[in-house]
Each structure stands twice: as structure tokens, then as C-alpha cells.
């Protein structure tokens, strides 16, 4: 008697459970892929923000008679950090395409303001 009930339950519930799994497994796999894909590729945004503040202070504190190489290197480091920050908070930028000069300075100001608007604390 108990065996017949178990066979009946397996016949009735089995196909339903298999179809439910067939529809549910692809969604579970897709969610797992999204979680893996959404892992940050770079350093944490807090670290990038701290580096940005440090390099910005260095850039602002350069003496007027500082060597051109130091000035350019610090500016390029600041631009690289700005691009990392933009990537971390998904803010568009054109720092890698704008030539040096006034246009680059304006793009830096625009990116800094966009990052502030996105919640990144840059003094």
C-alpha cells in the first residue's frame, strides 16, 4: 500500500518538478553569471578616491619652477586616476582623446564635477 502511494506521488510530482527545474535552472545560471561579471575589475572606489585626493594635492602643490617632466607625470597620473574613477562609477569621459592644453584642463574640470555628482568626494 505505501509503495503504491510513493509510486503515485513520483508519477504525479516528478514531471512537475522536472519542468519547474527546466525553467528555473537557466535563470539561476544567468544570475550567477551576472554576479561574476559585476565584480569590480579595478581597485575599490574608496582607494581610487584617496589616490585622487593625494595626487591632486601633489599637482596643486607643485612649485612654479618644478621640472616639466614632474608636472607632466603628475598630470598624467591624475588623469589615469580620473579615468579609473570614471570607470568605477560609470561616468563617461574623454580624457584619453583630448589633447594637452586648455581642452584637457576643461575636460578634467568637467570629469571632476561629474564624479562629485556621482558621489565621489574630491575636494
Whether residues 27 and 56 share a domain: the answer is no
Whether residues 32 and 9 share a domain: the answer is yes
Look at residue 29 and tell me if it is in a domain.
yes
The H or E element containing residue 48 is helix 45-60
Look at residue 122 and tell me if it is in a domain.
no
Whether residues 49 and 86 share a domain: the answer is yes
Whether residues 54 and 104 share a domain: the answer is yes
What span, in angstroms and rounded, lies between the C-alpha atoms of 51 and 48? 5
Which domain does 68 fall in, by range?
45-117
pLDDT by residue, tens only, the chain of 123 residues: 888 888 888 888 888 888 888 888 888 888 888 877 665 667 888 899 999 999 999 999 999 999 999 999 999 999 999 999 999 888 999 998 999 889 999 999 999 999 999 988 887
What is the domain count for the chain? 2
The per-residue pLDDT for 40 is 60
Amino acid at each position: 500500500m505505501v509503495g503504491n502511494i510513493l509510486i503515485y506521488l513520483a508519477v504525479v510530482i516528478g514531471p512537475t518538478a522536472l519542468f519547474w527545474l527546466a525553467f528555473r535552472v537557466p535563470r539561476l545560471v544567468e544570475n550567477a553569471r551576472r554576479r561574476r561579471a559585476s565584480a569590480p575589475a579595478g581597485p575599490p572606489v574608496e582607494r581610487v578616491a584617496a589616490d585622487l585626493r593625494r595626487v591632486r594635492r601633489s599637482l596643486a602643490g607643485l612649485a612654479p619652477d618644478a621640472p616639466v617632466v614632474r608636472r607632466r607625470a603628475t598630470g598624467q597620473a591624475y588623469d589615469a586616476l580620473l579615468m579609473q574613477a570614471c570607470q568605477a562609477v560609470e561616468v563617461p569621459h574623454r580624457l584619453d582623446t583630448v589633447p594637452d592644453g586648455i581642452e584637457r584642463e576643461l575636460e578634467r574640470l568637467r570629469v571632476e564635477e561629474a564624479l562629485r555628482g556621482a558621489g565621489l568626494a574630491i575636494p
